[in-house]
């Protein structure tokens, strides 16, 4: 959709995002960034909203997109995804692979492996943003996002 100003256009964008049905469930941040780089010819400010959990390496696409545009990354995550609570056996579903698994969250080892994975994921994501020169914020779904956006824009 072509960029426009005004409240009506912002509401249109929000409506489109909420009603969007993806062709598949795999996360491919690189593809989204390549699309942005190729589709938008004039320099613009673009906001990339994601949980940034992607098995592929998107750093190169991030660098290229940020050179051409002013890119701002906003990580949205649920606080429950940062660590496992010791609840016992839990059935989890991965929509990207379409697979269900049972995990024992009462196991200290399982919780530690998950915590280490989460911390590594966050460190890799932050390093990618830093190396690419992309401004970023992380916002939990249970927090007030306005405060974080204001901090981001003051920093810029």
Question: What would the two tokens of residue 151 be?
Answer: 């901090």
Return the pLDDT at 113. 96
Residues of the chain with pLDDT under 70: none
Q: Per-residue pLDDT tens for 40-57?
A: 889 999 999 999 999 889
Q: Per-residue pLDDT tens for 104-117?
A: 999 999 999 999 99
Return the pLDDT at 5. 87
């Amino acid at each position: 959709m072509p960029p426009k100003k005004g409240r009506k256009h912002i509401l249109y964008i929000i409506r489109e995002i909420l009603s969007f049905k993806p062709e598949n469930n795999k996360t491919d941040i690189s593809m989204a960034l390549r699309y942005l780089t190729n589709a938008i010819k004039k320099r613009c400010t673009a906001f990339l909203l994601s949980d940034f959990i992607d098995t592929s390496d998107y750093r190169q696409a991030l660098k290229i997109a940020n050179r051409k545009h002013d890119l701002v990354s906003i990580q949205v995550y649920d606080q429950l995804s940062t660590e496992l609570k010791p609840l016992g056996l839990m059935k989890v579903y991965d929509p990207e692979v379409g697979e269900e698994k049972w995990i024992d969250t009462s196991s200290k080892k399982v919780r530690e492996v998950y915590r280490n994975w989460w911390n590594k994921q966050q460190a890799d994501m932050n390093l990618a943003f830093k190396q690419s020169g992309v401004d970023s914020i992380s916002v939990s779904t249970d927090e007030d996002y306005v405060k974080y956006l204001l901090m981001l824009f003051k920093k810029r």
